[in-house]
Structure formats: C-alpha cells, structure tokens
Homo-oligomer: A and B are copies of this chain.
Amino acid sequence: MAKSTTPGNPVAARQRGVTMKDVAKHAGVSRTAVSFVLSNRENASISEETRTRINDAVQELGYRPNAGARALASRRSDWYGIVTEIVTAPFAVDIIKGAQDQAWLDRRFLLIAPSDQADAVGPNQGLEDAATEKLLEQRVEGLLYAATFHRGVHVPASANEVPTVLINCFDADGKLPSIVPDERAGGRVAVERLLQAGHTRIGVINLDPVIPAAVGRLEGAREALAVAGLELDQELVVSGYATADGGYEAACQILDRYPQKDRPTALFCLNDRMAMGAYDAIKERGLTIPGDIAVIGFDNQELIAAYLRPKLTTVALPFERMGALGVQTLNALTAGQPITADQQLVDCPLLERSSV
C-alpha cells in the first residue's frame, strides 16, 4: 500500500493553521517578538504594552503552537515513549496511567507503542523493534519498557540511543535501570497480617516456583514466619496454574489432606485469581471465610478482589506508582544523571477487606 495522497495536497490544504507570522502581523510586530513573548523569555525586552497586544492577538486568532516545528527548531521534543505489551494484555494498565499522569504533570507527552511480544525470550521481537524504531523516529527523549508481569527482558539494541527505564521488569543483561515491585516485602506483610490475626498454620497456594514473583513472595512469607519463631511447612505449599481453576485444585489438596484439627486456618494465595478458586473450594466444603479459613491474596485485581464475597484482603501491586516513578527516573536521566543499573523496589501495600 503506497501513500494514497495524491499530488494535489487534497486534505492538508484545507486546513492551514494560524502561525506566529499571522499573530505578528495582526499585532503589528515582528515574528521574533511573538516568539519571545510566547516562550516567556527572561532577558527579552518587550514592553508591557506590546506584550498584551501580542497576547490579545493570540487569543483573537486562536493561535495554537505547532509542537513539531517547535521540536525541530529547539531540538527537544518533550516526548517520552513507552513500549508495552500492556495494551495487549491489560492486566497492568495502571502502569500506563501512572506514567501518563506524571508525564502530564511534567509537561511531557507520552507516546504509547504496543508490543505484541508474547514471550520474553523468543525471537519474536519484530514488533517490539518496530515500536522502538517508530518512537525514535518521533525523537522521543527517553524510553520506558513496561511488562505485564515481573520478569527479566531483553530490550532492542536501539533503545540504547536514549535514556531507558524498565518498569515491572528488569534488564536480563543487567545494564539498564528498572523499577519493580518489592515482592518480598509484600509476602512478608501478607503473612504478618495472618499471624497478627492469630493464624499459625498457613497454607500457601504458590505460582510457578521459578518466576520472580513466586520467589520473592515466598521468601517474604518465610521471613515473617521466622520472626514469629515459625517455619514454613513445605507440605503446606502447593503450586498450581495461575488461574481460578488452579487455585481451586490447590486449595482442595490442602484442605482435604488433613483431619480438621491439623488443617490450616488460613490460605496465602500468591495471586487473586487463585484466591478466587480457593473461595469456591472453601465454600464447597461448608466452611466460611474468614471464620473457618482466612484468605489473603496478592495483586489486587480490582474486578476480583473487590467483588468476591466476602471481599478479598490482598496485597496490591503498585502499578501506578511504578509508572510515575519510571517517568521521574527518566526526568533525572535526561537531565544528565548518569545511567546505572539500579533496581528500584516499590512497596506493595496491604489492602484490608473482609477475608481475614
């Protein structure tokens, strides 16, 4: 498909915007004067009178600056780009929200480019490369990469041309700064909450044990138990698929394995979807939440956690905050701060609802 614009400039010609030149003519001054006033130059000497005359002209003509031309002349675009699979798999969409809000505050524009990358390792980087390339063509001053779940990733080589920050993922090559949730602290706070409610025998419904989320959260759980002088009973840790069905099955195993007196009185589900399944398993057995079994989740997926009955107490992933921090970090880097491979850990707050 070639460009379908015919030589005649059909559409573009229709709409010619008001330029500085027009404003200048209308105000009876030079274009330079207009530029000075609009950019609020400090050591420009423009009398108060012409200044208002120019501002009036701007109002009357409805002048609107041309961001592209400005970027070209000033050699800075005020744009950041974010490459993300989140558009495809919207689980962590709050990252975008956080980043965009922060960018808006900082008078920057965030260009969002989709990356359909299903797996981090495979050579399916076509679209991701293309997205990065497209963003660089727009002359973004910084790049963000955001993943739907915490993991290591490889970024396209061309990302090295501008400051780059990873969000909810980290550089598998260990060269770029990143912002990730503090899974361990999250696991700790979850189990602390259960301990505080008097539970000492706690079942854990685990994710795939190799992913960073599972490793961190479980370690945090161990730490919390250790502080209370307890140990994590490996028999009470059951892994399953990260779905409601997986959670259901894992919960059944844990609940049916013991006579009532040895049965755990609380379940720590490493994500909310599995907690959703665990609810079913518990209710099926005629047990109540939190009376007989307390449940605590992880992720704070609103649609689940806030709508389960009883509402699910869970640990939130700080997506929005990570997004904002990403932009702030980019601000620092573009301002000249040296690039390091630091990992910023962001707190995962406990959200009390009614299941503990």
Contact = CB atoms under 8 A, between A and B. Distances in A.
Interface string A41-85: 000000000000000000000001111110110111100000000
A22 interface: no
A273 interface: yes
A72 B66 contact: yes
In the A-B complex, the 6 residue pairs with the smallest Cβ-Cβ separation, listed nearest first, are A244-B307, A68-B68, A90-B93, A12-B75, A303-B303, A67-B137
Nearest to A94: B90
A5 B157 contact: yes
A289 to B, nearest CB: 12
Interface of A: 1-2, 4-7, 9-15, 17, 40, 64-69, 71-72, 74-77, 87-88, 90, 93-94, 96-97, 100-101, 104, 107, 109-112, 114, 133-134, 136-139, 141, 157-158, 160-162, 243-245, 248, 273, 276-277, 280, 283, 301, 303-304, 307-309, 334-336
Contacts of A12: 74-76
A6 B97 contact: no
Contacts of A107: 1
Given A6-B160, A93-B90, A109-B134, A72 B68 contact: yes
Contacts of A309: 244-245, 248, 277, 280
Given A15-B161, A111-B109, A9 B75 contact: yes
A138 B67 contact: yes
Contacts of A93: 87, 90, 93
A9 B73 CA distance: 12
Given A301-B303, A303-B304, 15 more contacts: A4-B335, A5-B157, A7-B157, A10-B335, A11-B76, A12-B74, A14-B162, A15-B162, A68-B68, A68-B71, A87-B96, A90-B94, A112-B112, A273-B303, A303-B303
